Amino acid sequence: MTLDSPAARHAAPDPHNTARLTISCPDRQGIVATVSQFLYSHGANIIHSDQHSTGMEGGQFFMRMEFYLGGLDVAREAFERAFEEVVASVFDMQWQLHYAAQPRRMGIMVSKYDHCFLDLLVRRRRGELSAEVPLVISNHEDLRSDAEMFGVPFVYLPVSQSNKAQAEAEQIRLLKQADVDFVVLARYMQILSSDFLRGVGVPVINIHHSFLPAFVGANPYRAAFERGVKLVGATAHYVTEELDAGPIIEQDIARVSHRETPDSLMRLGRDVERQVLARAVKAHLDDRVLVHGNKTIVF
């Protein structure tokens, strides 16, 4: 959806001068019209709009709008205050507004496996992921040189049963000090406690193979090979207190045959893992994921 304006007719919108508005609220008539009219009245030009409703009778409404700021007639702070007073409060909205020119700060936690970690850093360097990486935390030293090669700070914090609480407290301190907006577990092979999730206070995205719960343990690909699986896959999800049960952001699979070995299954599986995680992180960065209970709406 695009609203005509002099600015839109004379110049293509600068992608860095755009904003994304996400909304969740009880469904009722007039939401799209009211939001669109508000944006138009303040000189904002709508570039994209997506909506989803779970039903008018007691249902929930979700919306993502991306708009150009070039014609905005008020300062951004005043614009946000007006939206809360004129629109959001009327419709009982939960809403967020993010400006594309302000890259999010992505903290990364990783152990020894490098495939997801390096893929994120390469995509960031290429400009595929609009994010800053102010901190990498690892419970092993193995990937320090890789982090340094990409110019991102690397902190080694060993974790054991005896020091887990202290280690997590230090992780929380470092992540807050780095002012991260969200955390990505790029194959971080430790279970995060409820205290960590509450303490860090930002979304945490995890990636794991999709053999769960069938094949658990240290070598799921060997177990899958012995069972003769015909698919390997991966799941990216937000982390909750229930292990590997948070809202799913992205999933994918690859078909395999009887000719595979445990090693080739692992290679294929890791390739799917890195692609799924990258797509999940990109969706999060682009404000395309809205969480509703233990499900997601991904525009």
Chain position carrying tokens 């193979």: 209
Give 6-99's CATH code, choosing from 3.30.70.260, 1.10.1740.10, 3.40.50.1980, 3.40.50.300.
3.30.70.260
Task: Return the pLDDT at 7.
Answer: 47
pLDDT less than 50: residues of the chain: 1-4, 7-10
Work out the mean pLDDT of the chain and round it to a whole number: 93
Domain ranges for the chain? 6-99, 104-298
Task: Return the pLDDT at 14.
Answer: 78
Task: Return the pLDDT at 16.
Answer: 80
Long-range Cβ pairs for the range 149-158 (8 Å, 24+)? 150/121, 150/124, 150/125, 152/108, 152/121, 153/178
Task: Return the pLDDT at 12.
Answer: 57
The one-character DSSP state at 230 is: S
pTM of the model: 0.91
130 HSE (CA, 13 A, CB side)? 13
Helical segments of 93-246, H only: 115-126, 144-149, 164-177, 194-200, 220-227
Task: Return the pLDDT at 72.
Answer: 94
The secondary structure element, H or E, covering residue 38 is helix 31-41
d(CA 149, CA 7): 42
Paired sense of beta strands 104-110 and 131-138, if any: parallel
Task: Return the pLDDT at 10.
Answer: 47
Peptide bond into 213 cis (omega under 30): yes
| Range 105-141 burial, b when 16+ CB lie within 10 A, else e | bbbbbbbebbbbbbbbbebbeeeebbbbbbbbbbbee
Q: What are phi and psi of 92, to 5 degrees?
A: 55, 50
pLDDT digits (tens, 9 = 90+) for 257-287: 999 999 999 999 999 999 999 999 999 999 9
- In CATH, what number does 104-298 get? 3.40.50.170
Task: Return the pLDDT at 3.
Answer: 44
d(CA 97, CA 99): 7
Task: Return the pLDDT at 1.
Answer: 44
Task: Return the pLDDT at 243.
Answer: 84
Chain position carrying tokens 């150009």: 68
| Catalytic residue IDs | 244
d(CA 186, CA 100): 24
